[in-house]
Amino acid sequence: MALVTTKKMFEMAYKNGYAIGAFNVNNMEITQGIVKAVAETKSPLILQISRGARSYASMSYLKAIIDVAVEENPDIPIVMHLDHGDTFETCKQCVDDGFTSVMIDGSHHDFEDNIKLTKQVVEYAHDHGVVVEAELGQLGGIEEDVVGLSHDEVMDHLTDPDQAVEFIERTGVDSLAIACGTSHGAYKFKVAPTLAFDVIENIAAKVPNYPLVMHGSSSVPKEFKDLINKYGGDMPDAMGVPEEALTKASKLAVCKINIDTDLRMALTAKIRQVYAETPAEFDPRKYLGPGREAIYEMVKHKLDVLGCAGKAAECL
């Protein structure tokens, strides 16, 4: 089947209490590891492409890789989503390039400018059959070009539920990424965070059946952190969002949960391990292969955490 939008996915996720995993891709091995996991578990999938990914791999290569994944897995609904588009021009280009979902991130603008920019993207995207995600509130941490608040400030800049209602009504946006205490990157927190589930619940009460999105939701798995550090890395204070918090959010109004850092850590951990244990190795297949397998195992686990494993058929 062809690429799909998130419309049916979010409808079923909201109704049945789970979230769709949205995984960032930068190359073939990452994509293959993710797709192998969703194909085996029969799960719906959102593949995200950031500005950094487009710069690194070029859109034509990434699109071709995703097209193969779609062709080889006709029973798996797959969305190609722009992650953190920052201008109307970027979103327009991605709509024109065949994306089925785009994110316009105007969260760094004031409220009125965010509405104006988001509405402009929504009007163009909807005219072309593409859905739109926006963001309201501010997250912490750093991910590529996205620089958020310091970790100590995160809980002071949560999404205001009343503003969320107004934002949704005035823009017509299809889903909304909210600030509820999560943070971008690997160095999210010094102690396990307590997310603001009351923000999620309040927005859900005010806008029933509306899909919310959580960014900055990687868990920074200890097994990968330990491997990276064992073989020369330096991630002593890396801590992410506990998986039980992801499961709880997925049973509320959160229909999409973004995961990027965990993918990077899985790949890096296995590459470092191969380099350390077999330093004479120079065949990329011998270190990228184990990295791809680690991504597959990690994503397969995440699909259970989010509750979307086995839900592909109902999202078609």
Structural domain contains residue 303:
yes
Domain that holds residue 252: 7-226+240-268+295-315
Structural domain contains residue 81:
yes
C-beta separation of 7 from 77 below 8 A: no
Structural domain contains residue 31:
yes
Per-residue DSSP letters for 255-293? EEEEE-HHHHHHHHHHHHHHHHH-TT---HHHHHHHHHH
Cα(176)–Cα(201) distance, integer angstroms: 14
pTM: 0.93
Q: The domain spanning residue 74 has which CATH number?
A: 3.20.20.70
Structural domain contains residue 34:
yes
Cα(168)–Cα(170) distance, integer angstroms: 6
pLDDT of residue 236: 83
Instruction: Look at the chain and report how many structural domains it folds into.
Output: 1
Cα(239)–Cα(145) distance, integer angstroms: 21
Query: 49: which strand partners?
Result: 82
Structural domain contains residue 120:
yes
Instruction: Report, as ranges of residue numbers, the positions in the chain whose pLDDT lies below 50.
Output: 141-144, 146-150
pLDDT of residue 267: 98
Structural domain contains residue 289:
no
pLDDT of residue 190: 64
pLDDT of residue 148: 45
C-beta separation of 235 from 229 below 8 A: yes
Structural domain contains residue 253:
yes
Instruction: Tell me the CA distances in angstroms from 43 to 5, 22, 34, 309, one per residue in order.
Output: 15, 12, 11, 5
Question: Percentages helix, strand, coil for the chain, rounded to the nearest 5?
Answer: 50, 15, 35
Q: How many other β-carbons are positioned within 10 Å of the β-carbon of residue 234?
A: 8
Structural domain contains residue 107:
yes
pLDDT of residue 257: 97
237 is catalytic: no
Cα(21)–Cα(255) distance, integer angstroms: 9
The SS3 of residue 213 is: strand
3-state secondary structure 46-106: EEEECHHHHHHHCHHHHHHHHHHHHHHCCCCCEEEEEEEECCHHHHHHHHHCCCCEEEECC
Q: Which of 75, 83, 127, 304 is catalytic?
A: 83
Contacts of 87-95 with CB under 8 Å at 24 or more apart are 88/117, 88/120, 88/121, 88/124, 90/51, 91/121, 91/124, 91/125, 91/132, 92/121, 92/124, 94/49, 95/124, 95/125, 95/128, 95/130
